[in-house]
Amino acid sequence: MLTLTALAELVWVLRSVYGIGRREIAAAIRALMQREGVKCARWTIEEGLEAMEAGADFADGVIAYDGAWQGGEEFVSFDRRAVVAMQQRGHVARLL
């Protein structure tokens, strides 16, 4: 089972510690999700990856998608890049 928390930590370590690019990380996670027997929240993870590729953090994409799925009407963040990326992806987003 690939949990969202574990993937968020993996993405952070790969970017921050190892300096791996967003596209390479997204490709690796997508390949991992395709492995036989892997269970995960595929739609949520894909939204996180697409947000990351658009310039936001993986976790921001997951939060925006999950919040909208649960009925949230607005993504709110202290991160200007995340807000812009979410707005570009069609989310109502506001900078605090």
Q: Tens of pLDDT along 16-36?
A: 999 999 999 999 999 999 999
Indicate if the pLDDT at residue 12 is higher than 90.
Answer: yes
Q: In angstroms, what CA-CA distances link 37 with 2, 11, 46, 73, 93?
A: 11, 21, 18, 34, 36
**Total number of domains in the chain:** 1
pLDDT tens digit string along 53-80? 988 899 999 999 999 999 999 999 998 9
Full domain range(s) for residue 45:
4-95
* pLDDT at site 33: 96
Own/partner pairs for 34-40, CB < 8 Å, 24+ apart? 38/2, 39/1, 39/2, 40/1, 40/2, 40/3, 40/7
